């Protein structure tokens, strides 16, 4: 299990996780009901058939939020509604008004929901109790907030806040591409996004491109600023950092994965333990570098 995206929240290190699994069990995923659009709750990190709803190694806790969503495309409902209205108009010689159309549409949804396909999903999260960070494997802030809300529902209180930088991330990313010294261990990748400072201005996306070149330099001279930037931390991880402070395309490199190959494991659980420990360690190391470089605000104790 390796996260692909890191949306990070900060929470007080004094967070009480006493009887965590008992609290999570009260908010475990329940099958979506025949008249429900969706259901969300905790599942075992080791799969829906697992028993434990959390897994810890040291100060790192692995949680998984599962979901079930009924697929009822709006186009299907609207098509049936249109046919139903046409039938009524042909039979009664009049087209139903707004209230009648709304009622008929609700009746159609009620009829279709129990027969709709159910799509399962899961989103993993890592709680670093030492540093007070919650890392959610999601590139969407909304999806990450949903996971934080589930943790809050289980614990009763989870004062987690999105990362906040005391320096402007866009200015910092632009400076790194322009030639400012990068924090120790960080190096430029081959991808960036530049935007004009004006609203609805030009956007330039570069992939598999040398960033320290005249072409990029001309965009910077024209006033464009870097909003997303590919970086690498030593030879351990590569990622794309956005001005929203979300880490995307997170990937462990050979320097980190080699640690797995040197570890003896004789079963799947040991393999997952090793992967989770590696993931937690590299995430913690990356966060420490970004915290110092971007002067990330701390959570209130």
Same domain, yes or no: 80 and 177: no
> Would you state the pLDDT for residue 100?
86
Domain membership of residue 120 (yes or no) is no
Each residue of 237-263: pLDDT tens digit? 999 999 999 999 999 988 677 766 655
Domain membership of residue 176 (yes or no) is yes
Same domain, yes or no: 109 and 196: no
> Would you state the pLDDT for residue 264?
56
> Would you state the pLDDT for residue 87?
86
Each residue of 126-154: pLDDT tens digit? 999 999 999 999 999 999 999 999 999 99
> Would you state the pLDDT for residue 212?
84
Each residue of 73-105: pLDDT tens digit? 888 888 888 888 888 888 888 888 888 888 888
> Would you state the pLDDT for residue 139?
95
Which range marks the domain in which residue 201 is found?
Answer: 169-294
Q: How far is CA 242 from CA 172, 225, 228, 230, 280, in A?
A: 11, 12, 4, 9, 21
Number of domains in the chain: 2
Same domain, yes or no: 105 and 218: no
Domain membership of residue 277 (yes or no) is yes
> Would you state the pLDDT for residue 122?
95
Low-confidence ranges of the chain (pLDDT < 50): none
- Read off the tokens for 58: 């040291």
The answer to whether the CB of 143 falls within 8 A of the CB of 123 is yes
pTM for the structure as a whole: 0.85
The answer to whether the CB of 268 falls within 8 A of the CB of 227 is no
Same domain, yes or no: 179 and 281: yes
Domain membership of residue 3 (yes or no) is no
Same domain, yes or no: 272 and 184: yes
């Amino acid at each position: 299990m390796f996260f692909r995206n890191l949306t990070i929240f900060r929470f007080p290190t004094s967070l009480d996780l006493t009887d965590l699994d008992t609290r999570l069990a009260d908010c475990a995923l329940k099958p979506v009901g025949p008249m429900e659009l969706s259901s969300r709750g905790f599942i075992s990190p080791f799969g829906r058939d697992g028993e434990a709803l959390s897994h810890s190694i040291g100060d790192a806790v692995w949680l998984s939020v599962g979901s079930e969503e009924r697929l009822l495309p709006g186009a299907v409902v609207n098509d049936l509604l249109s046919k139903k209205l046409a039938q009524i108009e042909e039979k009664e010689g009049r087209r139903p008004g707004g209230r009648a159309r709304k009622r008929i549409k609700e009746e159609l949804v009620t009829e279709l929901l129990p027969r709709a396909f159910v799509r399962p999903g899961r989103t993993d999260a890592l709680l670093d109790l030492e540093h007070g960070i919650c890392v959610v494997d999601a590139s969407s802030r909304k999806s990450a907030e949903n996971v934080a809300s589930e943790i809050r529902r289980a614990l009763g209180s989870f004062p987690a806040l999105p990362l906040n930088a005391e320096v402007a991330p866009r200015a910092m990313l632009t400076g790194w591409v322009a030639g400012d010294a990068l924090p120790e261990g960080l190096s430029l990748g081959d991808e960036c996004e530049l935007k004009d400072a004006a609203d609805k201005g030009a956007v330039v996306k570069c992939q598999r491109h040398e960033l320290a070149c005249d072409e990029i330099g001309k965009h910077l001279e024209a006033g464009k600023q870097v909003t997303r930037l590919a970086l690498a931390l030593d030879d351990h991880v590569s990622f794309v950092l956005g001005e929203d402070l979300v880490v995307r395309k997170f990937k462990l490199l050979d320097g980190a994965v080699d640690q797995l190959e040197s570890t003896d494991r004789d079963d799947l659980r040991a393999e997952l333990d090793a992967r989770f420990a590696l993931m937690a360690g590299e995430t913690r190391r990356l966060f420490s570098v970004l915290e110092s470089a971007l002067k990330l605000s701390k959570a209130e104790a």
